[in-house]
């Protein structure tokens, strides 16, 4: 493709995306295709001869669009939001256009140095401590995901816990990772990848009401393990759990970790970016005092297209010691002089995309003010929705719900718990099949509940109102068909 051809097709693509976003409400939120349907519609063999780019675009529209779940649809309330935005799309496009692979400072100095500036900016915007800044002992780095961030944190923690032995000898002693039943599954996977195995993961109890980790039980588990010759490697506290946005008590957990010299990782994948709002800074309680590492995902709720997760560490020493290596083919004067950052030492892969460009575009386009407005809109709508739910005798909201997620249980008078859960899941299926919204579920106290996560870039009050109206209507209709 020549630059002129690229210009022509590039315009078509940008127009296509603009039309798609402008008309997104005309699509069913959740793809309604059956497994295998898209694959069957596609040619099984690659073309021998090149095809015009228009064919790619028309097949995207004709064959693939039915198999797309529209994450940017204003009725998307599933999982957590995965915000896209104009400046992020354009920043990503520029990154693709430059085609930079920023594994080392020397492979594109601006890729590294912009990233340093942007993660330091973000630390400031979120009110994170000064020692997370790159000009202090710590520093931030953009990862593809919070899952990678927790794996990298665990490798650094293992390095520190074993006084460097894990990095040299591998896992020759028993190490443990401490999480709760509410911790994201990526932590258990990190333990498996790092060689601790599922047996190296300890489940700390949670408060049955708030679902927050119990620091006293953590202390008991740590002391028991130490007495048994097991080395506690890392504790993961979550600020905003995936299931219900529960907030673990980081100050108390941190104090336990500090007393026992254990690495504290704070996983704020979803909720962390909300601290751009001063009124939500309480989510950072204990982070400055105790966190050895901290992660949040601009790719969830901060208007930055997937993928963009940021990991900060209070001391980059163990991280670099755990992950640095310098084969001959990567040697260069800047690295040898030790005068530059090579972010490949801060992550699992060698190669890395120029992700800082999209985060930079987003922060510059919206400014702190615009980012705050976006978070406040999500939180405000969620609080309104929670009020409607609480006022309706047919539903019961789960408390607390401090952010953009509201979990709630439909009531099914006359049904026992199992039948009621089945009815809740049936309601969920009906709502998602309607095409007007997409919700997911979780279990709280072994009961099925619906999750409605608000925070899409296009979601306005009317969308939440319409969704709530439909939930009530479908619930009433389904109730009429049930015995009891």
Q: Give the footprint of ligand PLP on this chain (CB under 6 A).
A: 80, 145-147, 184, 186, 238, 241-242, 267, 269-270, 297, 309
Q: How far is the CB of 226 from ligand PLP (least distance, A)?
A: 27
CB-nearer residue toward ligand PLP: 250 or 423: 250
**Residue closer to ligand PLP (CB basis): 104 or 212:** 212
Shortest Å distance, C-beta 69 to ligand PLP: 16
User: Which is nearer to ligand PLP, 188 or 267 (by Cβ)?
Assistant: 267
Minimum Å distance from CB 388 to ligand PLP? 25
- Alpha-carbon torsion (95, 100, 103, 104), positive or negative: negative
Smallest distance from ligand PLP to CB 222, Å: 22
Nearest alpha carbon to residue 88 among 117, 118, 116: 118
Tokens of residue 278, six digits = 């001063």
Least distance CB 184 / ligand PLP (angstroms): 3
Give whichever of 297 and 459 is closer to ligand PLP, judged by the CB atom: 297
Q: How far apart are CA 298 and CA 172, in angstroms?
A: 37
Nearer to ligand PLP, 80 or 366 (CB): 80
Query: Which residue, 162 or 272, is less far from ligand PLP as judged by CB?
Result: 272
| Closest distance of CB 267 from ligand PLP, Å | 5
Nearer to ligand PLP, 297 or 377 (CB): 297
Closer of 148 and 424 to ligand PLP (Cβ): 148
Q: How far is the CB of 47 from ligand PLP (least distance, A)?
A: 34
CB of 213 to ligand PLP, least distance (A): 13
Q: How far is the CB of 196 from ligand PLP (least distance, A)?
A: 18
Minimal distance in Å, beta carbon 283 to ligand PLP? 12
Per-residue H/E/C for the chain: CCHHHHHHHHHHHHHHHHHHHHCHHHCCCCCCCCCCHHHHHCCCCCCCCCCCHHHHHHHHHHHHHHHCCCCCCCCECCCCCCCCCHHHHHHHHHHHHHCCCCCCHHHCHHHHHHHHHHHHHHHHHCCCCHHHCCCCCCEEEEECCHHHHHHHHHHHHHHHHCCCHHHHHCCCCCEEEEEECCCCHHHHHHHHHHCCCHHHEEEECECCCCCCECHHHHHHHHHHHHHCCCEEEEEEEEECCCCCCCECCHHHHHHHHHHHCCEEEEECCCCHHHHHCHHHHHHHCCHHHHCCEEEECHHHHCCCCCCCEEEEECCHHHHHHHHCCCCHHHCCHHHHHCCCCCHHHHCCCCCCCCCHHHHHHHHHHHHHHHHHHHHHHHHHHHHHHHHHHHHCCCEEECCCCCCCEEEEEECCCCCCHHHHHHHHHHHHHHHHHCCCCECEEEEECCEEEEEEECCCCCCCHHHHHHHHHHHHHHHHHHHHHCCC
For ligand PLP, which is the closer residue by CB, 70 or 299? 299
Nearer to ligand PLP, 252 or 267 (CB): 267
């Amino acid at each position: 493709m020549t630059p002129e051809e690229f210009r022509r097709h590039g315009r078509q693509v940008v127009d296509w995306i603009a039309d798609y976003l402008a008309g997104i409400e005309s699509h069913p939120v959740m793809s309604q295709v059956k497994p295998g349907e898209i694959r069957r519609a596609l040619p099984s063999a690659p073309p021998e001869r090149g095809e015009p780019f228009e064919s790619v675009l028309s097949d995207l529209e004709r064959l693939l669009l039915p198999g797309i779940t529209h994450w940017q649809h204003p009725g998307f309330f599933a999982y957590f939001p995965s915000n896209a935005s104009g400046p992020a799309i354009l920043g990503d496009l520029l990154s693709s256009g430059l085609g930079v692979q920023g594994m080392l400072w020397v492979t594109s100095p601006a890729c590294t140095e912009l990233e340093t500036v942007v993660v330091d900016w973000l630390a400031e915007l979120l009110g994170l401590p000064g020692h997370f800044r790159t000009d202090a002992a710590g520093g931030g780095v953009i990862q593809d995901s919070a899952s990678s961030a927790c794996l990298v944190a665990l490798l650094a923690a293992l390095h520190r816990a074993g006084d460097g032995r894990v990095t040299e000898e591998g896992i020759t002693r028993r190490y443990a990772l401490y999480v709760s039943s509410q911790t994201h599954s990526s932590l258990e996977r990190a333990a498996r990848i790092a060689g601790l195995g599922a047996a190296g993961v300890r489940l700390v109890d949670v408060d049955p009401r708030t679902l927050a980790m119990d620091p006293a039980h953590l202390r008991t588990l740590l002391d028991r393990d130490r007495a048994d010759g097991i080395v506690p490697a890392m504790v993961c506290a979550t600020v905003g759990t995936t299931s219900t946005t529960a907030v673990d008590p980081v100050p108390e957990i941190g104090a336990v970790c500090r007393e026992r010299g254990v690495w504290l990782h704070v996983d704020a994948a979803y909720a962390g970016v909300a601290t751009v709002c001063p009124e939500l800074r309480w989510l950072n309680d204990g982070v400055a005092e105790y966190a050895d590492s901290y992660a949040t995902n601009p790719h969830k709720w901060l208007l930055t297209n997937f993928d963009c997760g940021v990991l900060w560490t209070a001391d980059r020493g163990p991280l670099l010691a755990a992950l640095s290596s310098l084969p001959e083919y990567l040697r260069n004067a800047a690295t040898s002089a030790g005068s530059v950052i090579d972010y490949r030492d801060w992550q699992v892969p060698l190669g890395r995309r120029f992700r800082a460009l999209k985060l930079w575009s987003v922060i510059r386009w919206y400014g702190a003010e615009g980012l705050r407005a976006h978070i406040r809109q999500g939180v405000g709508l969620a609080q309104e929705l929670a009020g409607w739910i609480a006022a309706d005798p047919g539903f019961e909201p789960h408390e607390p719900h401090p952010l953009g997620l509201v979990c709630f249980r439909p009531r099914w008078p006359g049904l026992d718990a199992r039948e009621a859960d089945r009815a809740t899941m049936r309601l969920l299926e009906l709502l998602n099949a309607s095409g007007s919204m997409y919700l997911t579920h979780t279990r709280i106290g072994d009961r099925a509940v619906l999750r409605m996560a608000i925070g899409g870039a296009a979601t306005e009050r009317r969308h939440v109102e319409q969704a709530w109206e439909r939930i009530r209507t479908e619930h009433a209709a389904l109730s009429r068909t049930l015995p009891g």
